[in-house]
Amino acid sequence: MMTSGVAIFWVLVSAGGAALLSWLLAYSTRRLAWKYGALSYPGGRRIHEKAMPQWGGLGICLAIVVIVGVVSTLGLLEQNKLQPLQITGYLIGLLVILVGGLIDDRKPLSPGVQILFPIAATLAVMATGTSIPLVSDPLSRNGLSLIWWSHSWPLGTLSLPADLITFAWIMVATYTTKILDGLDGLVDGLAVIGAGLVAALSSSAAYFQPAVAILSGIVGGSFLGFLPHNKHPAKQYLGEAGALMAGFSLGVLAILSTAKIAIALAVLAIPIADLILVVLGRIRRGASWYKGDNTHLHFRLLQAGLPHRTAVLLLWGVSLCAGIVALSLQTRGKIFLVVTLIILAGFGSYAAGLKAKRKTEK
């Protein structure tokens, strides 16, 4: 039986190996992006001034797959209730997103086609037994079971509405990081923070899940290894696949860590709230709700005069603090925290937008 100290050791070793491999692979994926024309060009809401290579997600995905394979052969992912089939489903999901992202970075796909890849990835995870079987009822001391209807199928159990909530959660987390990928290193850093918090939670005595902790360390390490290439001024971008994989991974890890969705939600609360506010704003203005623009909080911070790096560090800091606080809170406290962050996101976006408008009028 693995002890907490041994688990932490393997988390650090796995994370370090993933980070090193991801860092090395970025040099190759950058050359491939230039060779095959997977480039992001200036214009629209893109704030960079020259063509930038994408496909950063390729190296991150390969690092995760390789290191998961290595630690699996050592038996390190068989330490608790995490099933090999669940890990396989997660890896299949990553590869599905990777394929769609690599294609989209070369020749942009329509939104209707783009979304098919995250949907397929989410279904792969659910089909291999990963879902939210129980959520806490904040108004009582008892859990509120969501398994109202279930049906066994070859690779797992379909539970309604539990799987509907699982599907919605993973899709929202996945698209939150996709939309948020507008500043150098922002999404990369949030993936490291989120995965690191899940690893810390899963390594603790109260929620001891060594396999989930090691898997989280691998994910966090893979994104950390790419960060030197992605931080401002970036040398390479995550691309469609990398941005989607960040949220997808956090969504899945949150479920695997005994359904502690609140931890990941605390990290992503401000981006999710910003996404909702932006969509509502587009609808109010009569614009297309899914067409990207520069009304997101991270863009407004730049428009208000905040330096690029400062804006990224600010959003990293808020997410890190929120995640750390959430670790020590009970269900009601976590709900209050998330609501507070949502209000903070709305106020911050409004204040930044107002300052940017005044700056423009001068």
Full pLDDT tens readout for the chain, 362 residues: 688 888 999 999 999 999 999 999 999 999 999 999 999 998 766 777 799 999 999 999 999 999 999 999 998 988 677 888 999 999 999 999 999 999 999 999 998 999 999 999 999 999 998 888 644 444 444 444 444 444 444 455 555 667 888 899 999 999 999 988 889 999 999 999 999 999 998 998 878 899 999 999 999 999 999 999 999 999 999 999 999 999 999 999 999 886 567 788 888 888 888 888 888 877 887 776 667 667 788 888 888 888 999 999 999 999 999 989 888 777 778 788 888 888 888 888 878 778 877 777 66
Q: Give the Cα separation of 161 and 181 in Å (integer).
A: 31
Q: How many domains, the chain? A: 1
pLDDT reported for residue 362: 61
- Confirm whether 184 is domain-assigned: yes
pTM: 0.90
Q: Give the Cα separation of 276 and 225 in Å (integer).
A: 31
Query: In 3-state terms, what secondary structure has residue 46?
Result: strand
Q: Give the Cα separation of 85 and 129 in Å (integer).
A: 7
CA R_g for the chain: 20
Rounded to 10 degrees, the C-alpha dihedral 84/85/86/91 comes to 90
pLDDT reported for residue 141: 46
- Confirm whether 307 is domain-assigned: no
pLDDT reported for residue 260: 67
All residues at 6 or more sequence positions from 61 whose CB lies less than 8 Å from its CB, including other chains = 94, 95, 98, 222, 241, 245
pLDDT reported for residue 228: 97
- Confirm whether 291 is domain-assigned: no
- Confirm whether 237 is domain-assigned: yes
Structural domain range at position 30: 4-260
- Confirm whether 356 is domain-assigned: no
Half-sphere exposure of 20 (CA within 13 A, CB side): 7
- Confirm whether 295 is domain-assigned: no
CB atoms under 10 Å from CB of 160, counted, come to: 13
- Confirm whether 269 is domain-assigned: no
Q: Are 125 and 93 in contact (CB under 8 A)?
A: yes
- Confirm whether 276 is domain-assigned: no
pLDDT reported for residue 42: 86
